């Protein structure tokens, strides 16, 4: 009897071990299938209503597209302490297809060289033993238009040229305040925002998410919170809207970059406050080149509720409302300062002006 009982116990133990191993195998297999599963693209539905259903009129631009203006941007640089040599580098407006035509550029003091970078042209000025305040004036003539998705689809060709694999990779990588490698950014991009059957509709889905996630908060001006903090806090200004939008595009494998400039016409008041310095996003499509998307919005909750009731998607709403915004692409006050010696330097835009050329 003892031998038979021992054999029964052994059989029971073996069965239990086999059951445990089988369960583990099934669970681990399911986990692997889930991890390796591809995300099935979803067709993006069309909005069933438009602005007229909300009794809202599109913004009428004050600046007429293609109108020629003369502009002048005054930058103030302040030096303190014992600085022997200073090198000032800043972006200058340039010709960009379908966005802006620039002519008669004049920079005072005259720069020693102009450097071409992937994001634009930069002037470099060397100053020996600078003291006190120095003013840099950038002026010229401009004609500005916008290259949004509607216009890109009408032109229907890549106006910017094909990006190399290396260039594409540079617009997919993480940068300071654009935390593409954050687990939360990746999770949001892959699990929360639908991947559409084409990149254009995927970008529209990203636009909708940023619109619904963030609220404009004037207290965030000049804080430069970055994409991740914007996502977790749910608030920001144009910098946060644009950086979160860019990070989510990159996390989905779509090249994107930040653009900065000034809405036309320029607004500068006695409080030394530039009212229309702005940041927005350009997204690269093989078919169209760099296309403008401006996710920043100050839409109140009442309008958001009406949009949801009428099934108006945020991208469609915003593209109708502000698609004609025009911006001079330029830096908005940032000057890269390098120097020898012991001292400090600060810079700001102290004036921005325009006149109409007929």
Q: Report pLDDT digits (tens) over 40-67.
A: 889 998 877 777 888 887 776 667 777 8
> Are 268 and 339 in a shared domain?
no
> Are 169 and 293 in a shared domain?
yes
> Are 104 and 207 in a shared domain?
no
> Are 281 and 185 in a shared domain?
yes
Residues 290-304 have a mean pLDDT of 91
Whether 346 contacts 134, CB under 8 Å? no
pLDDT of residue 31: 43
pLDDT of residue 2: 47
> Are 246 and 177 in a shared domain?
yes
Measured between alpha carbons, how far is 144 from 327 in angstroms, rounded to an integer?
7
Is 40 part of any domain?
no
Buried b (16+ CB within 10 A) or exposed e, 187-205: ebbeeebbbbeebbbbbbb
User: CA 239, 257, 210, 37 torsion: positive or negative?
Assistant: negative
Residue with tokens 């920079």: 107
> Are 138 and 148 in a shared domain?
no
Is 123 part of any domain?
yes
Measured between alpha carbons, how far is 188 from 171 in angstroms, rounded to an integer?
19
> Are 154 and 286 in a shared domain?
yes
pLDDT of residue 1: 46
Is 283 part of any domain?
yes
Helix/strand/coil for 336: strand
Q: Report pLDDT digits (tens) over 192-208.
A: 999 999 999 999 999 99
Q: Report pLDDT digits (tens) over 124-149.
A: 999 998 989 999 999 999 999 889 99
Is 4 part of any domain?
no
- Which domain, by its residues, includes 166? 51-61+144-329
Is 17 part of any domain?
no
Measured between alpha carbons, how far is 132 from 148 in angstroms, rounded to an integer?
43
Is 45 part of any domain?
no
> Are 345 and 248 in a shared domain?
no
> Are 283 and 260 in a shared domain?
yes
What is the total count of domains within the chain? Answer: 2
CATH number for the domain spanning 78: value is 2.60.40.2250
Cβ neighbourhood burial of 329 (10 Å; 0-12, 13-18, 19+): buried
Is 46 part of any domain?
no
Q: Which residues pair with 83 in a beta bridge?
A: 341
> Are 73 and 183 in a shared domain?
no
Is 344 part of any domain?
yes
Q: Report pLDDT digits (tens) over 70-81.
A: 989 888 898 988
């Amino acid at each position: 009897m003892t031998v038979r009982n021992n054999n029964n116990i052994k059989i029971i133990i073996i069965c239990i071990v086999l059951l445990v191993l089988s369960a583990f195998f099934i669970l681990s297999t399911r986990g692997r299938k889930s991890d390796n599963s591809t995300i099935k693209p979803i067709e993006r539905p069309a909005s069933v209503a438009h602005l007229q259903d909300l009794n809202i009129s599109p913004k009428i631009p004050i600046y007429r597209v293609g109108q020629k203006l003369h502009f002048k941007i005054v930058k103030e640089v302040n030096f303190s302490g014992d600085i022997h040599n200073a090198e000032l580098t800043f972006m200058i407006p340039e010709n960009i297809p379908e966005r802006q035509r620039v002519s008669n550029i004049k920079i005072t003091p005259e720069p020693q060289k102009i450097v071409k970078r992937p994001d634009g042209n930069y002037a470099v000025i060397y100053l020996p033993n600078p003291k006190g305040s120095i003013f840099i004036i950038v002026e010229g003539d401009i004609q500005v238009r916008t290259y949004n998705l509607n216009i890109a689809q009408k032109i229907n060709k890549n106006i910017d040229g094909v990006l190399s694999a290396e260039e594409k990779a540079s617009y997919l990588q993480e940068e300071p305040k654009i935390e593409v490698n954050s687990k939360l950014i990746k999770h949001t991009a892959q699990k929360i925002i639908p991947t559409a059957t084409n990149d254009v509709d995927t970008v529209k889905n990203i636009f909708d998410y940023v619109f619904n996630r963030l609220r404009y908060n004037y207290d965030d001006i000049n804080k430069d919170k970055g994409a991740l903090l914007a996502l977790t806090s749910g608030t920001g200004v144009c910098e946060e809207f644009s950086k979160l939008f860019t990070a989510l595009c990159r996390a989905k494998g779509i090249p994107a970059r930040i653009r900065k400039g000034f809405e036309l016409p320029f607004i500068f008041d006695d409080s030394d406050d530039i009212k229309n310095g702005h940041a927005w996003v350009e997204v690269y499509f093989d078919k169209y080149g760099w296309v403008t998307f401006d996710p920043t919005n100050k839409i109140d909750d009442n309008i958001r509720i009406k949009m949801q009731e009428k099934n108006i998607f945020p991208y469609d709403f915003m593209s109708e409302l502000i698609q004609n915004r025009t911006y001079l692409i330029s830096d908005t006050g940032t000057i890269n300062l390098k120097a020898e010696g012991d001292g400090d330097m600060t810079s700001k835009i102290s004036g921005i002006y325009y006149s109409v050329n007929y």
